[in-house]
Every structure is written in C-alpha cells, then in structure tokens.
Amino acid sequence: MVSLPPGAPGRVAVVGLGLIGGSLARLLHARGVDVVATDVVPAARQAARRAGLAVADDVAACVPDAALVVLAVPLRVMGVVAEQVAAAAPAHATVTDVGSVKGPVRDAVRAAGLGDRFVGAHPMSGTERSGFDASTADLLDDVVWAVTVDDPAAVDPDRLRQVLALVTGPLRGRATVVTDDVHDEAAALVSHVPHVLATQLLNAVAGAPVRHVALRLAAGSFRDGTRVAFGDPARTAAMVGQNAGWVAPALRKVVRDLEVLVAALETNGATHDFFHAADDVRATGRPVRAVRDGAAARTERFALTGDWAAALVERCTAGAVVVGVTPHGADLEVPAG
C-alpha cells in the first residue's frame, strides 16, 4: 500500500466505469488506494473485475464504507445516482465528481441533499474514445484538475482539503481551485468550443466536393485539429449543451472574429490583428500549464488557516496551482515574476 498524505481519503467509491471513472479506478488501484467501483452496465462491471478492480453490483453496495464518493456518470442520470448515493453513503463521506461542467452537477447533488458534502472536480484529460475498455491508469496520472466550490466562504474546508489531498497525493496531479462559474467559463474556452470547432472542420471536409482528395492529403494540422471530432458526437453534443450558457457567447465571439477575417480576405484587407491577437500567449511557446513543464516558477507555502478556502480560490484564479497538501498547509506553484 502507498503512504497517503494526511487528510487523504480512506476508501474511495467510484460510481461509473466509463473512460474517466474507469481510468480513475485503475490509477487509484495501481497506487494502492482502497477503491471499489460500480456501473449500471453489467459488461462494464465484468470488464473491471477482469482488470483486477473491486466491483460492487450497484450503488447501494458500493458506497456504504466510502470516505469519498466519486460520481463519474453522465449528467442525464446524475440526479438519480446522487439520490442513490445520499441513501446509502455514510454521513461523513465527501462527494465529488469528474464532469466537464460544474454548475448543473452541483444543482443535481444539492437537490439530492448532498450539497454540503460536495466538492466539484474535473480532470483535464481525455481521449476521443469512450467506455471502460478505453480507460487506462495513465490517462489521469499527473494531470491538472479543476477543483470547484460554489461559495468559497461556505465550503467545508475539511472536505475541500480531502479532495485536494487525493489529487495531489495518490493521483500525483495539480489542482486549480476555482468557483463553478469560473470553471465552466474556462472549460468552454479550452474544451467545449474546441470540440465544436473540430466538429465543424470535419463537417466542412465531409461536405466538400473534393473531400476524397482532401482526406488523402490531410496531415498533421488536420489530424490535430479534428482529433476530438472522431469521438462520439452524441457525447460531444451533450457536453456542449450542458454548458450552453458559456459556450454560446464564446462561439458568438469566434463567429464575429471569423466574419472580420472573411471580410478582410474578400477585400484584400489587413489580417494582422486576427493572426497576432494572441502573441502574448504564443510567446510562452506552449500552453499555460508549462509552469510544470519547465517555465519559470516558484513554490510558496500556503497556510490552511482562517478563511483559507476563499483565499485559495483567489490565488488560483490569479494563476496559482496546488501541488501538495498537508494538514495545515498547501504548496502552491505560481509563475515567477
């Protein structure tokens, strides 16, 4: 068994054995964490048992001894599953999730009576594939997680620390602690809108009279730009629709910017502003997560005293990332300068 950091959960119950839930259960098991999982689909349970995981037949059998319950089910059934967890999980169990949209999940758990026990979470990793057979322990190893709260002043600090200890301990990840709204707006920009644009790029080629030649000539830029469009389109549509309040305005800006570019191209106008608008981001040479990948950074100790949850949200919203947790402090990695 691995030595978990103080405050890390005991038994973890993972409800849902799809790509993310399955990958989480595999990684926790590989790291020696006491984990039990379940899924409504018998084939998924059977596959998980063959992979060496402890699997319960249903939620009622999965969560009674859990210190932490992870909801890894589609949003359309989140309410029903949350009610099942509320009926069977012990009162001390913290509830979290792995969904890409936070506001609707919090609404569902609150309606089930779990609002004061819930801390949202979203691992920023995935593939175009789905299902337990696509899951791997590597998928969630050492990745960035968003850990979210509704009201930073009202969140139970022990439950927040418990989730952070799991992410930065056995999962060896990093955590950005933000509000649900900040997460959903950011996820729209870096995940949901890219899924829409990838789908449209694939649609454009699929409907073109030269589609067969184009697909033969397609190389790296098309492959990278359309990778996520080769996943389940129904899953993508559901994800985008669940975050419509933030995705729609972001897409409107994309459309406006593209219309300006189209007009410039049609009139031989200037296109400099379009292609140079993100020069300050481009200058980093990589995505912003480069703080961990070699960009200049410094580590600070953050005391978990007083109204620390609200202060941590403020620090993370400004760019800090939690990389370690102890009972009384957290290590924050922040960009230098």
The fold of the 12-180+293-335 domain, in CATH, is Rossmann fold (3.40.50)
DSSP-assigned beta bridge partners for residue 331: 301, 324
The fold of the 185-282 domain, in CATH, is 6-phosphogluconate dehydrogenase C-terminal fold (1.10.3660)
Task: Give residue 83's pLDDT.
Answer: 98
Query: What are 244's two structure tokens?
Result: 């419509």
Task: Give residue 87's pLDDT.
Answer: 98
Location of each CATH 3.40.50.720 domain in the chain: 12-180+293-335
Task: Give residue 326's pLDDT.
Answer: 86
Location of each CATH 1.10.3660.10 domain in the chain: 185-282
Task: Give residue 337's pLDDT.
Answer: 57
| pTM of the predicted structure, to 2 decimals | 0.89
Task: Give residue 287's pLDDT.
Answer: 61
**pLDDT block averages, 10 residues each, the chain of length 337:** 49 97 97 97 97 98 97 96 98 96 96 97 89 95 96 94 96 97 96 97 97 96 94 91 96 98 97 95 67 65 94 95 92 83
Task: Give residue 108's pLDDT.
Answer: 97
Task: Give residue 220's pLDDT.
Answer: 94
**Per-position DSSP letters for 216-236, written without gaps between them:** HH--HHHHHHHGGGGS-HHHH
Rounded CA separation 20/270 (Å): 44
Rounded CA separation 88/84 (Å): 6
Task: Give residue 293's pLDDT.
Answer: 52
